């Protein structure tokens, strides 16, 4: 998308945090027989940091490009700051962009790169100088204003690209995997900076990533995408605690899935008879009595207990220390061969390999889903 940044000059600039929400209604895009985006609808509040999270090919970029105006939707509408922009050119939508390739002008200095969007808009010299100076300072680049992009590291170049998108204060900034090309340490550092700048300026950001951890660190809300659809659009906490689909439970938390059948469902709980024989108490939101189900529980929400007291029993197979945590795998007794449950425990509570253990968890931490293929 090389032309994107050069063209990304909004006609309307409103102070951060005061714009009306951005809303997208029933956006759809197909390429030949392939449905890239299939009816995506969402409302984004001013000042919110929203992330599209999904595997490669789930429709994140296509959705973002339709919002940006570089890709025409087959149907649906996009409203930015109270204005229907569905048919407007990208540069008239009042949006800023930062992409994975930073696309700086190689022959211009850092200062000139960041000043460029303001020059395009004819911002008076004194104000231009003030705003470029402030923006560079905020990003920790003041000392590098005279350098050319090739004299900067990858992380510094990405920061300059961020400055260039921020300097004209667009009410909404779109970022498509902007840190994807950087190593882990730099990524962590820039995530913190992006979040700080977003908070300080009250920016509305729509961010695309396939990295769960990055999404969790940055976002007020995350839209989990799969096959061109949003499975769930919620806060990180809600996604963890109340996943609406098995996909969300698995994608965000690497959940364990235990097969069974609903034995009882009341207002307080749901009882699942596991295929391994034990009885599991779960959240009341579940398919009806008799349904074949999968009970999902995150590794961090499982606890070990004496074998007789758990909803299932097994043998500790591996214990791996990861900092202050241990990852533990337990092979279930009475499970089908290969049934292994993963736990994460504080390092002080690590069991011994080959120990016989029971598994337990709070009912509120267990989600119950209809088993695939029904039955």
Ligand X SMILES: Nc1ncnc2c1ncn2[C@@H]1O[C@H](COP(=O)(O)OP(=O)(O)O)[C@@H](O)[C@H]1O
Residues of this chain that interact with Mg ion (CB under 5 A) are 61
CB of 205 to ligand X, least distance (A): 17
Instruction: Map the footprint of ligand X across residues 54-73, applying CB under 6 A.
Output: 54, 56-62
- Residue 36 binding result from ligand X, Mg ion, none, given CB thresholds of 5 to 8 Å by partner type: ligand X
CB of 332 to ligand X, least distance (A): 35
Task: Choose the stretch contacting ligand X; rule: CB under 6 A; options: 38-46, 52-60, 86-94, 131-139.
Answer: 52-60
| C-beta of residue 100 within 8 angstroms of C-beta of residue 162 | no
| C-beta of residue 214 within 8 angstroms of C-beta of residue 187 | yes
Number of residues that bind ligand X (CB under 6 A): 11
Asked if 31 touches ligand X (CB under 6 A), the answer is yes
CB of 34 to Mg ion, least distance (A): 14
CB of 42 to ligand X, least distance (A): 16
- Residue 54 binding result from Mg ion, ligand X, none, given CB thresholds of 5 to 8 Å by partner type: ligand X
| C-beta of residue 102 within 8 angstroms of C-beta of residue 163 | no
CB of 65 to ligand X, least distance (A): 8
- Residue 324 binding result from Mg ion, ligand X, none, given CB thresholds of 5 to 8 Å by partner type: none
DSSP 112-173: HHHHHHHHHTT--HHHHHHHHHHHHHHTT-GGGTT--GGGS-HHHHHHHHHHHHHTT--SEE
| C-beta of residue 350 within 8 angstroms of C-beta of residue 303 | no
> 79 vs 229, which CB is nearer to Mg ion?
229
Instruction: Map the footprint of ligand X across residues 161-200, applying CB under 6 A.
Output: none
- Residue 237 binding result from ligand X, Mg ion, none, given CB thresholds of 5 to 8 Å by partner type: none
| C-beta of residue 27 within 8 angstroms of C-beta of residue 72 | no
Which class for 56: exposed (0-12), middle (13-18), buried (19 or more C-beta within 10 A)? exposed
Residue 275 CA neighbour count, 13 Å, CB half:
15
Tell me which residues touch ligand X (CB under 6 A).
Answer: 31, 34, 36, 54, 56-62
């Amino acid at each position: 998308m090389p032309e994107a940044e050069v063209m990304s000059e909004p006609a309307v600039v409103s102070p951060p945090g005061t714009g009306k929400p951005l809303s997208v209604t029933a956006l759809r895009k197909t390429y030949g027989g392939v449905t890239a985006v299939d009816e995506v609808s969402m409302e984004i509040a001013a000042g919110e940091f929203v992330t599209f999270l999904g595997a490669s090919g789930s429709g994140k970029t296509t959705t973002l490009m339709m919002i940006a105006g570089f890709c025409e939707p087959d149907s649906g509408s996009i409203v930015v700051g109270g204005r229907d922009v569905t048919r407007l050119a990208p540069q008239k939508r009042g949006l800023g962009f930062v992409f994975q390739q930073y696309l700086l002008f190689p022959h211009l200095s850092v200062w000139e790169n960041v000043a460029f969007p303001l020059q395009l808009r004819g911002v008076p010299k004194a104000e231009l100088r003030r705003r470029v100076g402030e923006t560079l300072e905020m990003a920790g680049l003041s000392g590098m204003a005279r350098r050319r992009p090739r004299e900067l590291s990858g992380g510094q170049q990405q920061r300059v690209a961020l400055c260039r998108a921020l300097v004209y204060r667009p009410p909404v900034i779109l970022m498509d995997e902007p840190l994807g090309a950087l190593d882990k340490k730099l990524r962590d550092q820039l995530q913190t900076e992006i979040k700080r700048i977003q908070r300080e300026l009250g920016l509305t950001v729509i961010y695309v990533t396939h990295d769960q951890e990055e999404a969790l660190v940055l976002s007020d809300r995350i839209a989990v995408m799969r096959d061109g659809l949003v499975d769930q659009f919620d806060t990180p906490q809600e996604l963890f605690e109340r996943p609406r689909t098995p996909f969300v439970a698995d994608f965000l938390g690497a959940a364990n899935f235990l097969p069974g059948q609903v034995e009882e469902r009341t207002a307080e709980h749901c009882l699942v008879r596991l295929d391994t024989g034990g009885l599991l108490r779960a959240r009341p939101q579940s398919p009806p009595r008799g349904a074949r189900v999968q009970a999902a529980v995150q590794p961090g929400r499982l606890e070990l207990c004496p074998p007789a007291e758990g909803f299932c029993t097994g043998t500790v197979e591996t214990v791996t220390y990861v900092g202050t945590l241990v990852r533990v795998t337990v092979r279930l007794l009475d499970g089908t061969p290969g049934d292994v449950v993963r736990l994460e425990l504080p390092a002080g509570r690590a069991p011994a390999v080959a120990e016989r253990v029971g598994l337990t968890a709070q009912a509120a931490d267990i989600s119950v889903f209809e088993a695939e293929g029904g039955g």
